[in-house]
Amino acid sequence: MTRSDLHADAFVFFGATGDLAYKKIFPALHALLRDGELDMPIIGIAKAGWTLDQLRARARASLEHAGTVDEAAYGRLCRQLHYIDGDYADDRTYGQLRAALRDARRPLHYLAIPPSLFPTVVQGLAAAGCARDARVVVEKPFGRDLASARALNRVLHGAFDESAIFRIDHYLGKEAVQNLLYFRFANTFLEPVWNRDYVQSVQITMAEDFGVQGRGAFYEEAGAIRDVVQNHLLQVTALLAMDAPVGHDAASLQAEKLRLFRGMRPLRPQDVVRGQFDGYRNEPGVAKDSNVETFAALRLHIDTWRWAGVPFYIRTGKCLPLTATEILVDLKTPPLAIFDTIEPPQSNTFRFRLSPEVVISASARVKQPGAAMRGQSVELVARRDMADQQTPYERLLGDAMRGDATLFTSDASVEAAWAVVDPVLDLPEPVAPYRAGSWGPAAAADLPDGNEGWHDPVAEPPADGASG
């Protein structure tokens, strides 16, 4: 088949009147239309008692909320937009969809709905013949543990081939995350030291300075490990630690990521510190005796030849001192302190700042001015200008329409990632309280082995080194 033969020829999204469509899908469709990449019917489905005109107005409000309305693109969206108001459990809804698709042979179905409705919709699509030669996009969470993830995959495979299933994790569509992968394999100087012989430890911090923002009921069902560790942070770990894929295709990348996931040792309770910020239990929708973690720090081991013996420290939390996602790769110290004999030898580091700025830096020791052979650390910094980048949803929707699965997650990888965290989900031990604005509970500070401690991200200063 040619590339054009693989392109979707209709876009269907269930949950068209919902919050996800309002915040993410309509702006992404608008951007694709503006760039001339979406010439196909757009069919929204929901049970809201709405009309097509109401859905068009909702789309307009969505774009205004996002801060941009290209009138020509919005006009095309209105002309291509169709609406079906119907119950997902009603066969007539899928009959209307079949009629609305007309001659479309490769529709892309986006399930912007609660996971509990996935089986109903998938089975309805299959029964109406709407799944044949089609693709389906499903949002995380892909289950809430290993058993439910396997059950969800069985439902999806009942109607779609694995190659037609696109599990969307918007974090993988971020420019900064893709830049991490590119930096690793486009530069030869990194590979010789990117292993257990030279790396002392790796730290990944995803900090947020805000709380649950009115989503207490959701967070009670998720918690930090389910919400961001099992997906976002383990995916970042895989990109950071995987070996180079053998080819340029999505299958080669997925194969290396899967090998890395399978090398991750399942977590033990002693590898994890769970915390909850003071005041969480006063949030609407939160139980007064909630034991759900809003903070998690963990020590992960990867049993591969490259990484055996190197600890990966991962932490995430709400109500921390700032909002930032940062990776710190700490290299081993020199075997002898030839110059700085008064102070302990200091290591070199690689730092990857994924948000809110995009920064890649390397630290090195240089001599201080003066007669003494004393040194200091300097950081060589490269910054990326993020202006005019595609949003994650625009990039991922465009890829799904083209059939490019590179930035999506496979069934085997999802299950392998759940196998890592499954032993520490819903631990009975009480969560440790921590003060809002701190770096989490005190016990988390002792998780890194030895005396290295956590490298806390700081507000990014103006660049005074190299830039790019």
- Active site residue ranges: 232
| Distance separating alpha carbons of residues 98 and 117, to the nearest angstrom | 20
| Tally: H helices and E strands in the chain | 14, 15
Q: Beta strands 375-383 and 199-207: pairing type?
A: unpaired
Please, which residues bridge with residue 432 across strands? Answer: 275
What is the spatial distance between Cα 339 and Cα 431, in angstroms, rounded to a whole number?
46
Residue written as token pair 């940062």? 326
Alpha-carbon gap, residue 236 to 217, rounded angstroms = 27
DSSP label at residue 463: P
SS3 466: coil
CB 82 within 8 A of CB 100: yes
Q: What is the identity of the amino acid at 34?
A: R
Token pair 């009147």 in the structure block, residue = 17
Burial 156-171 (b: 16+ CB within 10 A, else e): beebbeeebbbbbbbb
Q: From residue 162, give the alpha-carbon distance in Å to each of 206, 249, 282, 407.
A: 31, 16, 43, 15
Distance CA 107, CA 250 (A): 21
